[in-house]
């Protein structure tokens, strides 16, 4: 049940906080999304086709770069009616999105007025932009997805993550954000420091705030959960946890379930389009944000491409249906996911699902012959060793050598370490392997700690 403050916040304070222009579309869209999530698959796909038609009409008219590209592929505006026709449009790679950013901006309204970039830990930064119409859909989509995890506007929440930007925001904006956050009862806690003392301070914040939901970077939440479990300091009833930004491993989910309760929800998104998919209360894969995005799991084989079969791994391609300012059409995010069969979920929703997110394609290692080896292999291995290895990180250097860093539980004996190395050697043959036992793994400057890093 929502408390009185939560009720007032939703009905009175939140609408009052936002300008009339901003609040209305977001809350209207949210209401619409709460209705359409119960639509049949046919209805949802019809909705996508309608929005796709509108978007492509705009693209052919106002985005000269994409128009020329599509024409070169032999396509005109009327050629894409159905979702199946979408496959005829060329994919937009990350490199291409970066190189042709200026030419991908609309030459007519709505213009892209919100400019952002992603840092890209191993690659070069990618600049992108979108218009305000898209922003409202993004906010509404996020609110619906978080709603599946029991979060509603006005609920007390802790956001345990890193600073999204290294530059402090200008004072005026910072003040506004602080005011916004405190009205919304959103409490931001930096996750970059992971010493026992820092984790104790987070526990104190949890006791003080009594959050309904903790939103966290998956790896940060897992480190916190392990600290809670190890010190036995849990004295709260169940708190739902929404994991974002980093991959959620099964062993991390289990640790969080002991520390906070059974409601652990994985979400998948990126800065370019925000929430792509989110887990519902049935915890059976992640529902796609179908009304805002077309999500494809694509298998490329040379020049040919097809959609992944259920259970098959492929590359995630996104078409953002509401970003007219600088459109993403069939944009390859760089992430790998496993496709799910199109069937009704136990929760009753038909919204298509992703079975799992397998991380970034930059997490794919290469053996000495150049054959790909999924970084997933390490998470499976380490889940198996969970009672002996607390944390790990795998870095494949440019010269192919692999550095394995381990944080053991207690003391790691030499024979076990040798067994781990032998095992890895079988999966990534011919590659030099170095191991290092450390007491702590540090997150990068944005507060994320990547489990598998491939330098390129």
The residues of the shown chain that bind Zn ion, judged by CB under 5 A, are 280, 282, 345, 347, 349
Number of separate helices (H) and strands (E) present in the chain: 13, 20
For the bound state, the minimum distance from the C-beta of residue 348 to Zn ion, rounded and expressed in Å, comes to: 7
Going by C-beta distance under 8 Å and a sequence separation of 6 or more, which residues neighbour residue 145? 267, 275, 277, 278, 287, 289
Q: Which helix (H) or strand (E) holds 231?
A: helix 218-231
Q: Whose Cβ is closer to Zn ion: residue 282's or residue 433's?
A: 282
For the bound state, the minimum distance from the C-beta of residue 250 to Zn ion, rounded and expressed in Å, comes to: 19
Q: Whose Cβ is closer to Zn ion: residue 227's or residue 353's?
A: 353
CA 299-269-323 angle, to 5 degrees, is 90
Q: Whose Cβ is closer to Zn ion: residue 280's or residue 406's?
A: 280
Report the relative pairing of strands 331-339 and 313-320 from DSSP bridges. Answer: antiparallel
For the bound state, the minimum distance from the C-beta of residue 146 to Zn ion, rounded and expressed in Å, comes to: 15
The tokens describing 2, both together, are 């929502």
Report the relative pairing of strands 286-288 and 353-360 from DSSP bridges. Answer: antiparallel
For helices 64-72 and 41-62, the axis angle rounded to 10 degrees is 110
For the bound state, the minimum distance from the C-beta of residue 280 to Zn ion, rounded and expressed in Å, comes to: 3
For the bound state, the minimum distance from the C-beta of residue 45 to Zn ion, rounded and expressed in Å, comes to: 17
For the bound state, the minimum distance from the C-beta of residue 41 to Zn ion, rounded and expressed in Å, comes to: 13
Q: Whose Cβ is closer to Zn ion: residue 340's or residue 360's?
A: 340
Q: Whose Cβ is closer to Zn ion: residue 108's or residue 346's?
A: 346
Burial readout 122-149 (b: 16 or more C-beta within 10 A, e: otherwise): eeeebebbbbeebbbbbbbbbbbbbbbb
d(C-alpha 21, C-alpha 24), whole Å: 6
Q: Whose Cβ is closer to Zn ion: residue 114's or residue 282's?
A: 282
């Amino acid at each position: 049940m929502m408390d009185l403050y939560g009720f007032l916040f939703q009905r009175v304070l939140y609408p009052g906080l936002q300008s009339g222009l901003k609040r209305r579309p977001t809350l209207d869209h949210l209401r619409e999304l709460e209705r359409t999530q119960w639509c049949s698959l046919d209805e949802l796909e019809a909705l996508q086709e309608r929005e796709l038609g509108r978007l492509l009409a705009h693209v052919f008219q106002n985005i000269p770069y994409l128009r020329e590209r599509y024409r070169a592929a032999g396509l005109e505006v009327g050629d894409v009616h159905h979702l199946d026709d979408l496959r005829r449009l060329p994919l937009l790679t990350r490199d291409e999105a970066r190189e042709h950013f200026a030419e991908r901006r609309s030459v007519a309204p709505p213009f892209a007025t919100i400019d952002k970039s992603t840092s890209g830990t191993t690659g070069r930064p990618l600049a992108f932009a979108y218009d305000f119409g898209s922003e409202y859909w993004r906010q509404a989509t996020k609110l619906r997805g978080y709603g599946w995890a029991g979060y509603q506007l006005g609920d007390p929440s802790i956001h345990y993550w890193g600073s999204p930007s290294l530059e402090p925001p200008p004072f005026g904006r910072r003040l506004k954000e602080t005011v916004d956050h405190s009205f919304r009862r959103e409490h931001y806690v930096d996750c970059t420091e992971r010493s026992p003392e820092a984790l104790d301070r987070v526990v104190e914040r949890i006791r003080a705030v009594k959050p309904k939901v903790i939103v966290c970077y998956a790896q940060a939440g897992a480190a916190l959960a392990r600290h809670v479990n190890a010190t036995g300091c849990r004295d709260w009833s169940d708190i739902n946890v929404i994991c974002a930004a980093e991959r959620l491993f099964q062993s991390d989910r289990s640790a969080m379930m002991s520390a906070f309760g059974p409601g652990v929800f994985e979400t998948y998104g990126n800065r370019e389009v925000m929430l792509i998919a989110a887990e519902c209360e049935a915890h059976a894969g992640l529902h796609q944000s179908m009304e805002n995005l077309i999500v494809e799991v694509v298998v490329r084989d040379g020049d040919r491409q097809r959609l992944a079969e259920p259970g098959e791994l492929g590359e995630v391609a996104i078409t953002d249906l509401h970003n007219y300012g600088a459109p993403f059409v069939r944009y390859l995010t760089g992430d790998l996911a496993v496709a799910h069969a199109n069937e009704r979920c136990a929760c009753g929703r038909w919204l298509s699902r992703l079975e799992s997110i397998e991380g970034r394609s930059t997490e794919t290692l290469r053996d000495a012959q150049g054959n790909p080896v999924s970084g997933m292999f390490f998470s499976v291995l380490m889940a198996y060793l969970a009672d002996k290895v607390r944390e790990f990180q795998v870095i494949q250097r440019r010269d192919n050598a692999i550095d394995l860093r381990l944080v053991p539980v207690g003391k790691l004996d030499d024979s076990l370490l040798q067994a781990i190395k032998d095992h890895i050697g079988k999966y990534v043959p011919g590659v030099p392997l170095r191991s290092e036992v450390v007491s702590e793994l540090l997150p990068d400057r944005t507060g994320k700690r990547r489990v598998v890093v491939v330098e390129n």
